[in-house]
A and B are shown apart, each in its own frame.
Chain A
Amino acid sequence: MRKVEIITRPFKLDDVKKALTELGIQGMTVSDVRGFGRQRGHKEVYRGAEYQVDFVPKVKIEVVVAADRVADVVKVVQDAARTNQIGDGKIFVLPVEDVIRIRTGEAGREAI
């Protein structure tokens, strides 16, 4: 099993969710995060004073899938989230040791 962490533009959340559910992914966790990569931040001006804002708002989507589905997930997410501009974000794939469904006690692939 693998966890796929997608960090991307907030306005792409709905597109990514749609692509994942169409692929048959049944659950995900979403959080609002801030950070920067190569896009760096932007300037804001308040009453003539300029500030460099380093941390840009992004959304983080976490899904856990069977290892053989990772390639499909990565492909549809890339297609859904891509704008071809710097700041589209990143996808991280991590190994997952186990998954347990709290209600039934099912574990492993059955619990995803």
Chain B
Amino acid sequence: MNPTDTAFIIVCAALVMFMTPGLALFYAGMTRSKNALGTMMQSFAAIGVISLVWMFWGYSLSFGTDLNGLIGGLDFLALSGVGMQPHESIATNLPHMVFMIFQCMFAIITPALITGAFAERMRFSAFLIFIVLWCTFVYAPLCHWVWGGGWMFKMGALDFAGGAVVHMSSGAAALAAALCLGKRKGYGTEPFIPHNLPMTVLGAGILWFGWFGFNAGSALAANGLAANAFVTTHVATAAAMLGWLVVEKLKTGHATTLGAASGAVAGMVAITPAAGFVTPMASIVIGLGGGILCYGGVLLKGKLGYDDALDVVGVHGVGGSWGALATGLFCTTAINEAGADGLFYGNAAQAWTQFLSILGTWAFCFIGSYILFKVVDAMMGLRVGGEEEMRGLDLSQHSEAGYQI
């Protein structure tokens, strides 16, 4: 066990935890004031629900002994064998509990990311059931495939901190959500104007702060690789913000605050799979590409006609896919010996592997999420009633109001 690494990852776990309340602010500011609490609650409640799911079976399904490359075994059920000593093969420099709780924070924020797609119209009870099922049947298997020794891992797909596990998965689930729940009442005819963008910008800032724990912590050690991931994360985010603002200025004539916040998040998403495999210079290209592509991704929903309320597909789906592909272009063993060389370092095969992992992730997560939404819909109904939707989630789901004015 390495005490320095242990101290670092404990702090990183706390940083990643802080991202979820940050996300709650980021999302809630973009909704209408009658849904402010309902939107924040979906992120905040995920901390409560998923933490327990993770303790009891989520961690074991993700990181337990590999069964045919598909799922982890039940050896760590209810934290059995997950103690203060390191595991013999998983993160051997850390107490096993530290690795488990660091991973727990990733499992929490991922379903919270999906909430942006069904914002302003999903029943709270149906939401709770959905995230328990989703963590069990979509997140845990995918996490196992990529990080727990499953088939994508064996195939050599690179995902440093969750481009597939966290972002493509939530993006694909978001597309399924938008299709299963349908559009919000009045979508396309009434204005849907964000009620508190200062909140959104603060949320983006908190996400940026927490993301250092997410990406640098994914080195799982306090070392040079963590430093590289920290720097690539930061500069990619900066570049993406500028990229978004430039295309936005060219297209609509204004560089907006919401654009700056959205661009920053797009950059963090794009660099996530690559942070520990690419150089800081490559990360600028990845970030710029992320900002520009995600702006396009956000415009896509208007063209295709689905109501992904807060643009989870456009930002996390598109940004995560670009990041995964870019990892296959820019990765180099000069940064990470455990990684691979990418297309620009003479190894086109890695780009192809990344491409396959993108297809596999989208297909599995979209179909899995679609089925789960349909199951929960049949069980209890996904959507609030028309009257409840008009009154807003704050009153109809929680009997509270976000603002007393």
| Interface pair A49/B302, CB less than 8 Å apart | yes
Give Cα A47–Cα B194 distance, bound, in whole angstroms.
10
Number of interface residues of A (CB under 8 A): 10
| Contact present for A45 and B193 (CB under 8 Å) | no
B191 touches A53 (CB 8 A): yes
Check A44 for interface membership: any CB of B closer than 8 A.
yes
The distance in angstroms between the C-alpha atoms of A49 and B256, with both chains bound, is 12
Asked if A51 CB lies within 8 Å of chain B CBs, one says: yes
What A residues does B262 contact at CB under 8 A? 47
- Closest-by-CB residue of A relative to B248 is A48
Write out the residue numbers on chain B whose beta carbons fall within 8 Å of the beta carbon of A85: none
The reply to whether A46 and B193 contact each other, CB–CB distance below 8 Å, is yes
- Shortest C-beta distance, B384 to chain A (Å), equals 23
Give complex CA distance A74, B281 in Å.
Answer: 65
- Check if A46 sits within 8 Å of B302, measured CB to CB: no
**Which residue on chain B has the smallest CB distance to residue A32?**
B405
A48–B299 CB distance below 8 A: yes
Q: Give which listed residue, A47, A51, A53, contacts B259 with CB less than 8 A.
A: A47
Nearest-CB residue, chain B, relative to A51: B191
A84 within 8 A of B: no
A50 contacts across to B, CB distance below 8 A = 252
Q: Report chain A residues within 8 Å CB of B256.
A: 45-46
Q: Is B295 an interface residue (CB 8 A)?
A: yes
Report Cα–Cα, A46/B299, bound state, in Å.
11
Q: List residues of chain B with CB under 8 Å of any chain A CB.
A: 30, 191-194, 248, 251-252, 254, 256, 258-259, 262, 295, 298-299, 302, 311
Q: List 11 A-B contacts (CB under 8 A).
A: A44-B193, A45-B256, A46-B30, A46-B256, A47-B259, A47-B311, A48-B252, A48-B295, A48-B298, A51-B192, A52-B191
List 12 additional A-B contacts (Cβ < 8 Å) besides A45-B254, A48-B298, A51-B192: A44-B191, A45-B252, A46-B193, A46-B258, A48-B248, A48-B251, A48-B302, A49-B302, A50-B252, A51-B191, A51-B193, A53-B191
Give the 7 A-B residue pairs with the shortest CB-CB distance, closest first.
A51-B191, A47-B298, A45-B252, A48-B299, A46-B258, A46-B194, A51-B193
